[in-house]
A = this chain, B = another copy of it.
Amino acid sequence: MPATMVSHDKLTATEAARRIACGNLTSEALVEACLARIAAREPEICAFAALDPSVALQEARACDRGPRLGALHGVPFVAKDVLDTADLPTEYGSPIYSGHRPRADAACVARLRAAGAILLGKTITCEFAGFAPGPTRNPSNLAHTPGGSSSGSAAAVADFMVPVGLGTQTGGSILRPASYCGVIGYKPSFGIVSRAGLKLASDTLDTIGLLSRSIEDIALFADVLASREPVPLEPLAPRRIGLCRTFLWDEALPETRQAVETAAERLSEHVEIRDLVLPATLHDIVATRGTIDDYERARALAYEWHHHRDRLSPHMAATVERGLAIPHARYVDALRSAASARALLPSLFAGFDLVLTPCATGEAPRGLDSTGVSTFQGLWTLLHVPAIGLPTHRGPHGLPVAIQLVAPLYADTRLLRFARWVADRLEAR
């Protein structure tokens, strides 16, 4: 393989799409470079649940030969293995679905492919997008968890196996692994990316999103997913940023506190920053999210629980039991609390364009037995607002630490433009 090919795996999707469109790069060369990187690194990283190089290469060559399909023509991506695919197995991280081949691609996968993107493979998910980890390791340090449940997408993107991955977030399953692996994680506003073909965990919370090394790539793929016309990402300065340490600040490790404080300090040179204190009525939302997640997950897994209970992990079996024990009335109370919390947001956000808040509690913990805790991410997942994690800092072991930026509901495009502006300000130092 020529040396120039090897570097293609370092390309962003945006740059690769541009080069392919100009005829300066073939999709085949790009996919080969990604496959070469995977071949070299996968034994250590374990990011993939399913990979069929011949299918990916065949699609790449078809792209190279055929007419331009769309904004992602020839660009590879991966999909978390809770998303159905018709030509690759889809096992949801569970032995119950060993060898399962869905009849159709999930809508989000179909949409990316229709825009010309090449599905490179399926990435490891925690069992049913929960907390029971897969075998994936953190590319920054193999002894540390990559986070979860979008473990494989985070690790594959971080390790330059692929520029962009699809993930899902019910608690913190996109932004936490993104932070731990040092990539960007984006959870769109709830509801704007179709969940058809997603193995549901929690109907009220599940959100399909993206992981990438580049904000431009996130914006490009997000535009295609939301069927917006892709436009180049222009940085946008927020008028005022709310610094939201949240009522969970004590749970943040020093590196996360420092990341948020330092970022706020630097950004305050350019824009007004004010403390945003969440009202006491919101202090129960972590518990509320947990109730909804447990209850809905237990109901969504009714078939698996009644027919294959012995093939659930002890962790998932305990989660289902906990969920089944929640009375319907308490669940409905939680749904009401969540709706009330969301109703408070417009007034909370009235004075702010953007909120700066912790992402993960700290750098990736050592060990592969746990994927970390989701509180700081889950809070915003329950609130349905769009969130992006930027890996701007490092922790005491040199592992990545992200800050989280949150915008009002449906202000996804503005959030990504703000993120570009914020990243520029923080990188300039």
Contacts and interface: CB of A to CB of B under 8 A. Distances in A.
Contact of A410 (B200, B324, B335, B410): B335
Contacts of A105: 302-303
Given A191-B204, A192-B335, A196-B301, 19 more contacts: A86-B303, A97-B103, A105-B303, A106-B303, A107-B301, A108-B302, A109-B303, A110-B303, A110-B305, A110-B307, A111-B302, A114-B306, A191-B203, A192-B331, A194-B296, A196-B203, A196-B299, A227-B299, A343-B343
Contacts of A227: 299, 324, 328
A47 B100 CA distance: 30
A332 interface: yes
A162 B300 CA distance: 26
Contact of A200 (B192, B194, B228): B194
A341 interface: no
A410 B303 contact: no
A37 interface: no
A328 to B, nearest CB: 5
What is the total number of copies of this protein in its complex? 2
A235 interface: no
A194 B305 CA distance: 14
Interface string A179-191: 0000000000001
A196 B192 contact: no
Looking at chain A, what size class is its interface with the partner chain? 35 or more
Interface string A322-334: 0010011101100
Contacts of A299: 107, 111, 194, 196, 227
A80 interface: no
A332 B301 CA distance: 31
Contacts of A108: 302
Contact of A196 (B86, B114, B200): B200
A122 interface: no
A110 B301 CA distance: 9
A203 B228 CA distance: 19
Nearest to A104: B303
Nearest to A384: B339
